[in-house]
Each structure stands twice: as C-alpha cells, then as structure tokens.
Amino acid sequence: MKLNVGFIKSVLNVYDEMSENGMSIVYLGEFHHQITKMFTSMAEEDMDRKDEERSTIRKVYSVMVETLQNMSKHSDEITDKYNIGKGLFMIGKKEGTYYIITSNKVSNSKKIDLEKAVKEVNGATREQLKEMYRKQITEGSISDKGGAGLGLIEIAKRTRNKLVYQFLPLDEHSQFFILKVEINAKKIVE
C-alpha cells in the first residue's frame, strides 16, 4: 500500500468524524472469543477510569458481549474453517449515552427473520420482553450456529431502548445489517 497525501487526509477526516461522535473503539475484522474479551476489557477499564456507575458498566459490558457474539456467530462473511464471522464494531459515548454500533453481512434469506425479530423486540413492553426471554429459555431451540435467539431480547431488556437498525443492500444475495444500541449512562431509577 502506498501512502499518499489523499489517503492521509481521508484517514484524518475519518478520525475527526469519529472523535466528534465520541467513538473510542472502532474495529473492522474477525470476531471471536479473544476479540470479545479484549474489547470488553478495554471498555470496562475506560469506564472505570471515567468513574461510571457499576450499573452502567454492567449494561455496556452485557450489550457488548451480546452484540459481539451475534457478529461472531451470525455474520455471513466467514473468514476461515473455524467459522469466525467478520464485521464492524464501534463503541463511544456522547452526551451521557453510550453507543454500540455493529454491522455485518447477512444473506437476503436471513434478513427476513432478523428484521422480524428486531421489530418484535422493539414492539414489546418490558413485561413482554421478560416473557419472551422466559419462553425462549424454556421452549426455544439452539440454532446450528449455537445461538438460542436471546441476544436481541437481552439487549432490549438491559437498555430499555429500542434497537435502531438498517439493512443496506450489498449485492443480489446479501445485505449489510447495521445495529445501533444506546445505553443511558445516567442512573435509571426502577
């Protein structure tokens, strides 16, 4: 790769944009257990340094684990014989809210079920989410990739926010699934 002024300017523009939006970790690549462990550890240490409340740290940690596991298990961009998924992960904080943004490739056939699941979770009340979770634990089945369908439910339960998502067409067979999760860093009174 040849470094030139245009490339450096592009990188600096991306850096400025990320900084303005409070992004502290941005990663593009493979997602596996070691990557999940590294990012959660880095974010937890950063939140400890910023004296975040333990409840906020637990929520951010939990959402990070769920979103990173989803990317590892459900990305349709597999990198090797170990079925490790690829994607994009970002975390940042702006104006009292943590943002976790993930994106990965999914097949058109998976888009239908994924969008249905997100809409169902977004349309549920807190009590309905608890019931969906309980039902999935007791009656749900494990997918061929090892998931039990609990990730989106768990994220919505923990954050008490709607999941923001979008699908961008990549080609005739696949979509780019973007998920944004917001976690309020201010203490929520039960």
pLDDT band with cut points at 50, 70 and 90 for residue 74: low
DSSP code, position 182: E
More confident residue, 111 or 69: 111
CB 24 within 8 A of CB 91: yes
190 has a pLDDT exceeding 70: no
Beta pairing partners, 89: 27, 102
pTM: 0.83
Distance CA 63, CA 148 (A): 16
pLDDT in the model for residue 87: 86
Tens digit of each residue's pLDDT (9 = 90 or more) over 116-134: 999 999 999 999 999 998 8
- Model pLDDT for residues 148-162, shown as the tens digit of each residue: 468 899 999 999 999
> Which two structure tokens, joined as six digits, stand for 135?
């039902």
In the chain, the domains with their CATH numbers are 22-184 (3.30.565.10)
190 versus 26: the higher-pLDDT residue is 26
In order of 74, 146, 157, 187, 188, the CA distances from 69 in angstroms are 8, 10, 17, 26, 26
Label residue 138 by pLDDT band (50, 70, 90). confident
Bridge partners (DSSP) of residue 180 are: 101, 164
